[in-house]
A = this chain, B = another copy of it.
Amino acid sequence: MVEGVHFRLSEGWATPAEVGHRALAGALSDLAAMGAQAGEAYLLLGLPAGFDEGAALELVRGANALAAQTGTTIAGGDVVSAPVLTVAFTVVGWAQSEQELIGRDGARPGDLVGVTGALGAAGVALAVLEGRVTETAGTEAAMARARRPVPRLLEGRALAAAGAHAMIDLSDGLASDAAHIGRAGGVALRVELEALPLQEGVALVSAELGIPPWQLAASSGEDYELCVCVSAQDAERAQQAVAAAGEVSLTWVGRVEEGAPGVALTDAAGEVVSLAGFEHRW
């Protein structure tokens, strides 16, 4: 994560502790999407001239707290000079065997497409921080989640054990990330936008922006929820596995079909909708 590219420190955008948390969360989220168990993390910290030592230590404390929560060991790293704050976590995950791990490429026609948790927290935060909407009590929960996203490690392992065919974490937004699964598997994912589970605050903010709630939810990067493809016969098992693993549920949002590899997003009428040009980064 590079200052000015992946985060801003100025004017309340992110505290150093949040930057540390988010950098580690983003790396762990990739392990979650494979169904791997988190192992060791290594931190490369690039500090610009004049960056306060106290802030650097706060950043590391933010990462340490998430490491403790997730059973990750921060086992090493390095600190160098850099023109802007640069925070790179390398994480190593483990499984008993390669067969336990899930890739992006196994989706099959007939599979159901599911997402964990609720979507749109990062999109709400971006709109608030850019001053496009008002910060209210209704956006607090989304802001808190966006500042410290939770990698879905337990849910990822549960889904892998429940027979998931393909999985990806939502770091760029469902519209982009689901397309990766479609292309990797040579299949067409059909996602019903009205079925997307919405983070609290998404309806409020999208109303103020004058856009449909699903637009925010489908294009919200760095939510770090999981998108998974599961055979119809394993669907109930997968849903129970996620419920048993933690605090979020699995929602079915679409289906895998034969067709042009990628994703098609459909509205309530079943018409394909384009999200092109909608900004997802915060």
Q: Which residues of A come within 8 Å of B, CB atoms?
A: 1-2, 4-6, 40, 42, 44, 46, 76-78, 80-84, 86, 88, 90, 92
Contacts and interface: CB of A to CB of B under 8 A. Distances in A.
Given A83-B83, A84-B83, A90 B2 contact: no
A78 B86 CA distance: 14
A133 to B, nearest CB: 27
Top 9 closest pairs, chain A to chain B, by CB:
A90-B90, A44-B88, A42-B90, A5-B81, A2-B82, A83-B83, A88-B88, A83-B84, A2-B80
Nearest to A75: B92
A107 to B, nearest CB: 22
A77 B78 CA distance: 16
29 contacts: A1-B80, A2-B80, A2-B81, A2-B82, A2-B83, A2-B86, A4-B83, A5-B80, A5-B81, A5-B82, A5-B83, A6-B80, A40-B92, A42-B42, A42-B90, A42-B92, A44-B44, A44-B88, A44-B90, A46-B86, A76-B90, A77-B90, A78-B88, A82-B86, A83-B83, A83-B84, A86-B86, A90-B90, A92-B92
A92 B76 CA distance: 10
Q: Is the interface of A mostly helix, strand, loop or mixed?
A: strand
Contacts of A92: 40, 42, 92
A80 B87 CA distance: 11
A91 B81 CA distance: 20
A46 B2 contact: yes
Given A5-B81, A78-B88, A82-B86, 11 more contacts: A2-B82, A2-B86, A4-B83, A5-B80, A5-B82, A40-B92, A42-B90, A44-B88, A44-B90, A88-B88, A90-B90
Contacts of A44: 44, 88, 90
A70 to B, nearest CB: 18
